[in-house]
């Protein structure tokens, strides 16, 4: 097989270019082979660049997914670096109904749960993807299934409560649909003991409320909204203002340094909303490139000396899992991870809260998350060259 043909196939699938996919397959690329993280052509076709409300994109996606399945793509494959999601789980969670239809028609299991035991219906409900929820229910998805005390309806209600303008979200319809498929139109009463309720409430309350930190963050983000999980992180930080991952911290007094980082160019700093800093003058922010809002913008790291600057994650779930992992990985400065005391106690407490409150576990492979995010967004380095004279030279 010619060098580069496999990657060309994966890129063509991500761009929903059916003609190019056929061309690369004919040239010897494998429909089942993925990159080192396991991302194959089917994964890329479902992830694609298009938006859920684009009719033409949906049509192209369905045609490509159907073609890949016909040619032998594995619809039962589990992608390890995204918590064991199947192709159908990926489509349900992101609201890609066209891909979902093609996968269901091919016999994909609508109950295949991920590593956290969440089903495709639960993931679609949590993100308010009403059309995906409707389709899954029509094909027998079990709305009564639970993970602990959480069912799909509870997750939809939680998602609605924390909603911050998610792209394509329709929680009202999602909740109405799920109520029709839940006994008596409401969730079964919890049987948790009083002591257990108190213990869980104490954990969950760590990130609830409207803290001083969150109010300051909201002012910095205006006119954009603070994403729900970032709001939770602000509230947690307000009660635990200490390093819990390397040298990450929330410090509003340092956010104005973003203008200096971009050498005063408003075309650059106006597109990045900061939320974190570290001890070597590096910055964490969301990149509001064209068409993105605070709800779907990628999380980026701007290295203090320029080094390590990169896209970190596509979602807040991914980013928080990286913080919880507390791993030695680029772009974090390794000297913080080589230290004898790497905030292990504080990190353990943060990870426990994150898992209990949001079901997010520490990342097993932070680098894989970053690689995935880079695939899903434009070239950050290329943009920086446009807004910062001499960048990368």
Task: Enumerate the β-bridge partners of residue 274.
Answer: 285
Domains plus CATH for the chain?
Answer: 5-185 (1.25.40.20), 204-387 (no CATH)
pLDDT tens, 225-252?
888 889 889 888 888 888 777 668 888 7
pLDDT tens, 160-199?
876 644 556 788 999 999 998 876 554 444 433 343 333 3
Q: Measured between alpha carbons, how far is 358 from 352 in angstroms, rounded to an integer?
A: 10
* Alpha helical stretches, state H, the chain: 5-14, 18-26, 41-47, 55-70, 87-94, 97-105, 120-126, 130-138, 152-161, 171-180, 194-204, 212-221, 228-239, 257-261, 266-269, 316-325, 334-337, 344-358, 366-376, 380-387
What's the pLDDT at 355? 78
Minimum mean pLDDT range among 4-18, 92-106, 273-287: 273-287
Task: Report CA 333 to chain centroid distance, whole Å.
Answer: 24
- Residue 325: pLDDT band with limits 50, 70, 90: confident
Within a 13 Å sphere around the CA of 51, how many CA atoms are in the beta-carbon half?
9
Q: What value does the mean pLDDT take over residues 41-62?
A: 80
Quick check: 84 and 76 in contact, CB under 8 A? no
Q: What value does the mean pLDDT take over residues 263-276?
A: 91
Tell me the pTM: 0.52
Q: What value does the mean pLDDT take over residues 68-90?
A: 91
What's the pLDDT at 187? 43
What's the pLDDT at 305? 67
- Residue 99: pLDDT band with limits 50, 70, 90: very high
Token digits of residue 78:
């589990």
């Amino acid at each position: 097989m010619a060098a580069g043909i496999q990657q060309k196939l994966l890129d063509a699938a991500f761009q929903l270019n059916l003609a190019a996919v056929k061309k690369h397959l004919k040239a010897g690329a494998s429909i089942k082979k993925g990159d080192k993280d396991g991302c194959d052509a089917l994964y890329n076709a479902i992830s694609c660049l298009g938006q859920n409300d684009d009719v033409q994109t949906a049509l192209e996606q369905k045609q490509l997914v159907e073609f890949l399945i016909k040619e032998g793509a594995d619809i039962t494959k589990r992608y390890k670096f995204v918590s064991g999601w199947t192709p159908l789980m990926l489509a349900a969670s992101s609201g890609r109904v066209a891909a979902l239809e093609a996968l269901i028609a091919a016999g994909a299991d609508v109950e295949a749960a991920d590593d956290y035991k969440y089903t495709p219906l639960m993931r679609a409900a949590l993100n308010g993807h009403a059309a995906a929820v409707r389709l899954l229910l029509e094909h027998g998805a079990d709305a009564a299934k639970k993970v602990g005390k959480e069912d799909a309806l509870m997750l939809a209600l939680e998602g609605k409560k924390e909603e911050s303008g998610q792209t394509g979200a329709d929680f009202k319809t999602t909740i109405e649909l799920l109520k029709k498929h839940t006994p008596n139109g409401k969730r079964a009463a919890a049987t948790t003991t009083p002591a257990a309720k108190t213990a869980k409430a104490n954990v969950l309350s760590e990130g609830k409320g409207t803290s001083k930190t969150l109010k300051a963050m909201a002012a910095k983000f205006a006119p954009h909204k603070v994403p729900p999980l970032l709001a939770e992180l602000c509230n947690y930080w307000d009660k635990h203002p200490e390093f819990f991952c390397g040298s990450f911290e929330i410090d509003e007094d340092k956010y104005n340094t973003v203008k200096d980082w971009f050498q005063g160019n408003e075309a650059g700093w106006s597109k990045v909303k900061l939320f974190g800093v570290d001890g070597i003058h590096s910055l964490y922010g969301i990149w509001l490139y064209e068409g993105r809002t605070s709800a779907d913008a990628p999380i980026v790291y701007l290295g203090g000396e320029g080094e390590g600057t990169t896209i970190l994650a596509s979602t807040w779930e991914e980013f928080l899992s990286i913080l919880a992992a507390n791993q030695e990985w680029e772009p974090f400065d390794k000297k913080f991870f080589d230290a004898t005391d790497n905030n292990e106690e504080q990190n353990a407490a943060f990870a426990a809260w994150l898992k209990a409150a949001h079901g997010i576990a520490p990342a097993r492979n932070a680098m894989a998350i970053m690689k995935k995010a880079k695939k899903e967004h434009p070239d950050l380095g290329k943009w920086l060259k446009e807004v910062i004279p001499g960048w990368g030279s």
